[in-house]
Amino acid sequence: MCAVELQKLRHDRTELYTRAIQPALWLLIFGETFTRIRAIPTGGVPYIDYLAPGIIAQSAMFIAIFYGIQIIWERDSGVLTKLLVTPTPRAALVTGKAFAAGIKALIQAVVVIVIAALLGVAMTWNPLRLLGVAAAVIFGSAFFACLSVTIAGIVLTRDRLMGIGQAITMPLFFGSNALYPVAVMPDWLRAVSAVNPLSYQVDALRGLLLGTPAHLPLDFAVLVLAAGAGITAASSLLGRLAR
Amino acid sequence: MSDEQAVVCEGLRYSFGDTVAVDSLDLSVVSGEVFGLLGPNGAGKTTAIRCVTTLLPVPPGTVRVFGRDAATERMAVRRLLGYVPQQLSADSGLTARENVALFARVFDVPRRERRERVAQALDAVGLTDAADRMAGTYSGGMVRRLELAQALVSAPRLLILDEPTIGLDPIARTGVWEHIMAVRAATGMTVLVTTHYMDEADQYCDRVALMHQGRVRALGTPESLRADLRARRADGSAPTLEDVFREVAGSGLVEDGGEFRDVRRTRSTATRVG
């Protein structure tokens, strides 16, 4: 499944190019401006450095959270029906799709890292740490893709999924440590951040890329568990889409 | 033709909310035959097929495919099936070869045989020359043949086609059917097909069942159904299969059957191939 998505991407790369625009703007405009304002306490790191891992996570999530749209398109076009009639287990189909989302996000992450490097963000080039970054990006995206497929399995139509997707992306993004540290949040927002997998992903990325203090074992445990739970939920609801 | 039963439905019943789509359906398809499931929109054909393909849980009643229970032995049943749904379901973002290779993979065709089997399936539907073109550039008839190749790559014992020729021009329709019949002659697979085209059913099906409001109202070879109606006619004129259909379905259209989504889907299929 995963390989198929990549074949498609090879045939039509437009998606990759257009997807790169938004994170680039975040870094350039938001990042550069807030670096000058110095309004956000980042613990001695320049704000743009602090922001870069957050933008990697954010752009990966934005790709993944609308993955369910593709599933609904596949349902309407009959592709999904045909796949569900094959002996391949649903969990394998979902896992393939989830990791395809992860790979797309990874390509996106590379773009963001290159842009960040051009803007002078001091990041690690240690290959082991970069491998960790790749893993964090893939597991995070796999979770959000499965979340999206799960919602698709419940609401069943594109319009409703779009609405819900729009409604949850911003709270997930702003309710995380992507733009500002948890320490400056009001208590209720901290609670949101504590159950938000995006926060753990950003924490891991920041720790790996910038060497800021992070809770890597906890972060990865949360990401792997979340991806696992997402795959389970999505595959149990996938059959609903074919009815 | 052996007497083995490819598909047996007993007392199959399925409802969407208050609408009973399939009502105590009894049906048996003999191994090796081409069996046509006919009926007006909303008669329950597609629902019955979705039960056979294990997409819908089998509620009251049983469905068996070559002796395997579609409710409890889903995986075993799926291994026996090739399925072409009503919609045009080839992925337009992939080449024909990649489309077929995907189904070779999800049907566990052994890695070493894949390339060969994919080429054979494409050859069987006459798409070898266009195999590396994007499916998005195909005409409607070619997409249908590509879908046929996708369904055939796993060498199914039962091929299920849901309105395979909907929206196609007469030449493309004939092309699709000729490929189906050629593969069936070569492999002896069983074919279960739904269609609205009575001339097709008459020409290609060994037996047909006419469904109306969730039940089978007439069953037999096209010739015997026509002969039965002729015997009942006062003037003894020769009826077509369409006349048989009209008699079974009545002249009134079914207004409460079929979901809006089904109709929209059919229309969009027609638009895409047209």
How far off is chain B from A8, nearest CA to CA, in Å?
A: 6
Give the residue numbers spanning the domain of A113. 2-27+44-242
Provide φ and ψ at A165, rounded to 5°.
-60, -45
Q: Which of A86, A93, A243 minimises the CB distance to B56?
A: A243
Q: Which of A11, A86, A242 minimises the CB distance to B106?
A: A86
B109 has pLDDT over 80: yes
Between chains, do A87 and B79 touch, taking CB under 8 Å as contact?
yes
Gyration radius of chain A's alpha carbons: 18
Q: Which alpha helices (H) appear in chain A, and where do they start and end? A: 2-11, 14-25, 32-37, 47-65, 67-77, 79-84, 90-118, 127-155, 158-174, 187-194, 197-210, 216-238
Any domain includes A39: no
Any domain includes A38: no
B 211-250 residues with CB < 8 A to A: none
Between chains, do B55 and A79 touch, taking CB under 8 Å as contact?
no
Number of domains in chain A: 1
DSSP conformation letters of A192-218: HHHT-HHHHHHHHHHHHHH-----HHH
How far off is chain B from A205, nearest CA to CA, in Å?
A: 33
Any domain includes A33: no
Any domain includes A132: yes
Q: Among A6-10, B30-34, B160-164, B229-233, which is the least confidently predicted range?
A: A6-10
Q: Which of A4, A12, A85 minimises the CB distance to B54?
A: A85
Q: How far apart are CA B176 and CA B165, in angstroms?
A: 7
pLDDT at B95: 94
> Which residue(s) pair with B159 in the sheet?
B82, B191
Domains of chain B in sequence order: 5-273 (3.40.50.300)
| Chain A residues bordering chain B (beta-carbon distance below 8 Å) | 1, 4, 7-8, 11-12, 76-79, 81-88, 93, 239, 242-243
Contact list in B for residue A79 (CB cut-off 8 A) is 89, 91
B227-258 tens-digit pLDDT: 999 998 888 888 999 999 988 887 555 555 55
A128-174 tens-digit pLDDT: 999 999 999 999 999 999 999 999 999 988 899 999 998 999 999 99
Gyration radius of chain B's alpha carbons: 19
Q: How far apart are CA B97 and CA A153, in angstroms?
A: 30
**Confidence band, pLDDT 50/70/90 cuts, at residue B1:** very low
Any domain includes A107: yes
Any domain includes A97: yes
pLDDT at B268: 59
pLDDT at B274: 42
Any domain includes A36: no
A168-193 tens-digit pLDDT: 999 999 999 999 999 899 999 999 99
pLDDT at B266: 60
Between chains, do B78 and A77 touch, taking CB under 8 Å as contact?
no
Closest residue of chain A to B16, computed from CA coordinates: A243
**Confidence band, pLDDT 50/70/90 cuts, at residue A233:** very high
